[in-house]
A and B are shown apart, each in its own frame.
Chain A
């Protein structure tokens, strides 16, 4: 109460408040943020726009900002097409759908669906599957490290962290050989296990920090009140760790969603994810930039959605511990 009374007095009496930034500082900070936003968002907008360009517009010089939008890029992304002679196309029955029509303009016919949908599904299953596993295992391990007296706890934690100290490529060959022996190459299970293994170390360290911040008294109160450890963890600790779990999940998902090197090495067909698939699109029928841009746009959507959904938690999660009420 006294603070509330004292504050305005303080603000008036001192020219240089350490709490409130001056308008000039604020404007400068705002400009910086806008500049940064432009730098990061512009390429993304360019990709989204390119997906709606025709192939010639996409490579036009100088680059076209205003153009006639077309869905060719998306159609090309989702279909496999074959080039035919104009005579052959003329003999065909009239096109049944808008995308048939669009393709025939370029003397092509649709031969079937492309592999983008199964690849996308692979990405979803592997990305979310490994994220779930990493966060699940990470939470349990972090809880144990945070609450119990574990022999060699510090060494174990260091060991867990050490798995992230080398570039992944360093272990690529051994993992490739191991996976071949275990018949895990080009399987979704293999990729989920691999990404989980990489992410779990991050998850343990991040979550341990969050769980350390939750006073033990909460669970102890639940224990005394008749709950078991696991019940106390589920009903008392987890609801309070939601922020940390959300932040961790986003970091894990971003890693496994974007991972390229291992995906190229270990998948080729069945379990191929989007990152190694997208470059392949370029090769099919000339440099089809609009199709690549379409694939990239779709690829970005889930992670943006996930992040936006958990945005509130993420923001609190990243600043957690810094500001504690």
Chain B
């Protein structure tokens, strides 16, 4: 197993820059998710790690060894494709054994290794089936088997669950995580689905327009987003942003939000007056007559245990997650109260988060 280090990696195709100078380290045994909207450069990054694409600039280190310009075959990395890429002219066993055949391994040994891998994935009964006859989940397992059988240094997965239906995806998420816990292989997992990333990964890197916006554990990126993009991308519904103008001083515990004063986590940097945004997760909003921000209920979405209520305020539409027992009438005017310790502040111009005590508070929790 291996540590993967990416240094100033950049890739451009003609005029278009797909990946712009990202630097990060994926520790040995980590389940690392590259998360972002389509076209953010996550797949290109993955393909560069695999050696299927050569970087324009930068370095890729595998266990300290510079493999930037090594052939894919020389990197000892396994890749799982979104479309599984199972060879239609081979049966399941042949598919799983294909990487071993290349190493010139004896036929008997290949058979044993294929059996062992199939047992691990519980697909032994399928070994002589045609791949075209398999269900989506079984195809996924065979693709994983083909990746595992070689015992590579790392697994790279490009939206491996993207082709499955929602229900099955949830099941496979659990299976993948379980598998990772058993074989403890460094895994880089590309997805655009925040739920997949949040539920499986140890570390998540959120990419936007070729740049890594934030790297952290699922809790870190959710609770303390480094930018408005991350805050918006993670969470469903996303974080609410209320824009306002104002200056900040280090040590302040409250801000002047339009005409009212709002208690926020202690601010840790000075800011001249500028366009700012107050970030509030929907679950940190409560209805309260004493609330300083008032608005009119626009609609409610019932989700079983909770409901998402949208409220039109003077500062924009806000989504709040309330218990489904709360009675809400469309059109009624309500006051909103925010959970002050969980508020985030952003520079609306650059989109970057402003340092507050909330970050440290979160770290302990």
A212-227 residues with Cβ-Cβ distance < 8 A to B are 215, 217-218, 220-227
Contact present for B87 and A236 (CB under 8 Å): yes
B51-81 residues with Cβ-Cβ distance < 8 A to A are 51-52, 71-73, 75, 77-79, 81
| Distance (whole angstroms) from the CB of B274 to the closest CB of chain A | 45
* Residue among B51, B75, B81 facing the most chain A CB atoms (10 A cut-off): B81
A239's closest neighbor in chain B, by CB?
B89
Contact present for B102 and A226 (CB under 8 Å): yes
Rounded to whole angstroms, the CA-CA distance of A236 and B90 in the bound complex is 10
Rounded to whole angstroms, the CA-CA distance of A226 and B74 in the bound complex is 7
Chain B contributes a number of interface residues (CB within 8 A of A) equal to: 23
Contact present for B102 and A231 (CB under 8 Å): yes
Residue interface mask A212-253, B partner, CB < 8 A = 1 = 000101101111111110010000100110000000000000
Cβ contacts under 8 Å, A221 to chain B: 79, 81, 85, 146
Chain A contributes a number of interface residues (CB within 8 A of B) equal to: 16
Contact present for A223 and B103 (CB under 8 Å): no
Contact present for A224 and B73 (CB under 8 Å): yes
Q: B50: CB under 8 A from chain A? A: yes
Contact present for B85 and A218 (CB under 8 Å): yes
Contact present for B89 and A240 (CB under 8 Å): yes
| Distance (whole angstroms) from the CB of A216 to the closest CB of chain B | 9
Cβ contacts under 8 Å, B79 to chain A: 220-221, 224
Contact present for B85 and A220 (CB under 8 Å): yes
Rounded to whole angstroms, the CA-CA distance of A224 and B51 in the bound complex is 8
| Distance (whole angstroms) from the CB of A317 to the closest CB of chain B | 16
Provided the pairs A217-B81, A217-B85 are in contact, do residues A224 and B52 lie with their beta carbons within 8 angstroms?
yes
B34-55 residues with Cβ-Cβ distance < 8 A to A are 50-52
Residue interface mask A77-118, B partner, CB < 8 A = 1 = 000000000000000000000000000000000000000000
Q: B99: CB under 8 A from chain A? A: yes
Rounded to whole angstroms, the CA-CA distance of A220 and B79 in the bound complex is 9
Which residue of B50, B81, B89, B103 is within 8 Å of A226 (Cβ)?
Answer: B103
Q: B304: CB under 8 A from chain A? A: no
Cβ contacts under 8 Å, A222 to chain B: 98, 102
B201-249 residues with Cβ-Cβ distance < 8 A to A are none
Contact present for A223 and B89 (CB under 8 Å): no
Contact present for A224 and B87 (CB under 8 Å): no
Rounded to whole angstroms, the CA-CA distance of A221 and B158 in the bound complex is 12
B90's closest neighbor in chain A, by CB?
A239
Provided the pairs A215-B83, A240-B88 are in contact, do residues A225 and B78 lie with their beta carbons within 8 angstroms?
yes
Provided the pairs A223-B52, A224-B72, A225-B98 are in contact, do residues A218 and B103 lie with their beta carbons within 8 angstroms?
no
Q: B150: CB under 8 A from chain A? A: yes
* Residue among A215, A220, A223 facing the most chain B CB atoms (10 A cut-off): A220
Provided the pairs A217-B83, A220-B81 are in contact, do residues A225 and B89 lie with their beta carbons within 8 angstroms?
no
Contact present for B73 and A228 (CB under 8 Å): yes
Cβ contacts under 8 Å, B77 to chain A: 224
Provided the pairs A215-B85, A225-B150, A227-B73 are in contact, do residues A220 and B98 lie with their beta carbons within 8 angstroms?
no
Cβ contacts under 8 Å, B85 to chain A: 215, 217-218, 220-221
Cβ contacts under 8 Å, A239 to chain B: 87, 89
Cβ contacts under 8 Å, A227 to chain B: 73, 102
Rounded to whole angstroms, the CA-CA distance of A225 and B89 in the bound complex is 17
Which residue of A215, A218, A223 is within 8 Å of B73 (Cβ)?
Answer: A223
Cβ contacts under 8 Å, A231 to chain B: 102
Contact present for A226 and B73 (CB under 8 Å): yes
Rounded to whole angstroms, the CA-CA distance of A225 and B100 in the bound complex is 8
Contact present for B99 and A226 (CB under 8 Å): yes
| Distance (whole angstroms) from the CB of B24 to the closest CB of chain A | 22
Contact present for A225 and B52 (CB under 8 Å): no
| Distance (whole angstroms) from the CB of A191 to the closest CB of chain B | 35
B73-125 residues with Cβ-Cβ distance < 8 A to A are 73, 75, 77-79, 81-83, 85, 87-89, 98-99, 102-103
Rounded to whole angstroms, the CA-CA distance of A223 and B102 in the bound complex is 10
Which residue of B50, B71, B72, B87 is within 8 Å of A218 (Cβ)?
Answer: B87
| Distance (whole angstroms) from the CB of A301 to the closest CB of chain B | 31
Rounded to whole angstroms, the CA-CA distance of A221 and B156 in the bound complex is 11
Rounded to whole angstroms, the CA-CA distance of A221 and B146 in the bound complex is 9
Which residue of B82, B88, B99 is within 8 Å of A225 (Cβ)?
Answer: B99
A224's closest neighbor in chain B, by CB?
B79
Rounded to whole angstroms, the CA-CA distance of A325 and B88 in the bound complex is 12
Rounded to whole angstroms, the CA-CA distance of A56 and B52 in the bound complex is 73
Cβ contacts under 8 Å, B71 to chain A: 223
Beyond the given A224-B78, A227-B102, A240-B88, please list 17 additional residue pairs across the A-B interface where CB-CB is below 8 A.
Answer: A217-B83, A217-B85, A220-B72, A220-B85, A221-B81, A222-B102, A223-B52, A223-B71, A223-B72, A224-B51, A224-B52, A224-B72, A224-B73, A225-B73, A236-B87, A239-B89, A240-B89
Chain B positions within 8 Å of A, measured between CB atoms, are 50-52, 71-73, 75, 77-79, 81-83, 85, 87-89, 98-99, 102-103, 146, 150
Chain A positions within 8 Å of B, measured between CB atoms, are 215, 217-218, 220-228, 231, 236, 239-240
The 25 listed contacts between A and B (C-beta, < 8 Å) are A215-B85, A217-B81, A218-B85, A218-B87, A220-B50, A220-B52, A221-B79, A222-B98, A223-B52, A223-B71, A223-B72, A224-B51, A224-B52, A224-B72, A224-B73, A224-B77, A224-B79, A225-B73, A225-B78, A225-B150, A226-B73, A227-B102, A239-B87, A239-B89, A240-B88
- List the 3 shortest-distance A-B pairs measured between CB atoms, nearest first: A225-B99, A217-B85, A226-B102
